[in-house]
Chains A and B, each alone.
Chain A
Amino acid sequence: DGGITQSPKYLFRKEGQNVTLSCEQNLNHDAMYWYRQDPGQGLRLIYYSQIVNDFQKGDIAEGYSVSREKKESFPLTVTSAQKNPTAFYLCASSFGLYNEQFFGPGTRLTVL
């Protein structure tokens, strides 16, 4: 089955720790994205990548880092510099000109 997988589904982290969220897709999509979703705020773009070895900051990149070493994978690291990391994190991918983005199931991160 083609799709986007994110792991883990739930993640707990202590303050001051870095944590990496996984995103994998087998849709052969070129572009991949990370969003953060908070209650009542919709989705906000953290980082996106158009092609392998290239990525761009989104609207709220501070405290996050990414890599794109393979077309299929786009991991997100939430660093200790992110002041309010507790949120629902969504990965998405797209192919072609029309920006139809397809989303993974999400990872809920809670900082204790």
Chain B
Amino acid sequence: QKEVEQDPGPLSVPEGAIVSLNCTYSNSAFQYFMWYRQYSRKGPELLMYTYSSGNKEDGRFTAQVDKSSKYISLFIRDSQPSDSATYLCAMSMHAGGTSYGKLTFGQGTILTVHP
């Protein structure tokens, strides 16, 4: 079993829809949670970063972490064709020691928003 599971999709939605992307994880030591967006043939770019449980909102994007269920989500409101990309969740345990900087990524979900 992988430490981080993410449904690869593909997910196809109409413009304006609310999109929900999810990851589950098995390691309860994960504390830092990130979402990256990756356009085709480009490097990933950091979208959202959260620490521990709770919600964080940034414009049309909301990141949600539920540590009790080991489940994180990214919601995209009023989705646009420019949101079409692969979305990767990532998480890490802590900074410091030999685990410093080590992110564990999900497989990525391919999202297409059609006009």
Contact = CB atoms under 8 A, between A and B. Distances in A.
A52 interface: no
A73 B24 CA distance: 34
A49 to B, nearest CB: 9
Contacts of B92: 99
A45 B103 contact: yes
A58 B96 CA distance: 16
Interface in A71-104: 88, 90, 92, 94, 96-104
Given A40-B8, A42-B88, A101 B103 contact: yes
Contact of B45 (A43, A96, A103): A103
A56 B95 contact: no
A32 B36 CA distance: 17
B9 to A, nearest CB: 11
A21 interface: no
Contacts of B49: 98, 100
B107 A99 contact: no
Given A40-B107, A41-B107, A98-B49, A48 B41 contact: no
Given A42-B108, A98-B51, A106 B101 contact: no
A31 interface: yes
B43 A90 contact: yes
A50 interface: yes
Contact of B42 (A45, A50, A56, A106): A106
Contacts of A104: 43
A50 B95 contact: no
A29 B49 CA distance: 18
Given A42-B108, A43-B88, A98 B32 contact: yes
Nearest to A93: B101
Interface of A: 4, 6, 31, 33, 40-45, 48, 50, 56, 58, 88, 90, 92, 94, 96-106, 108
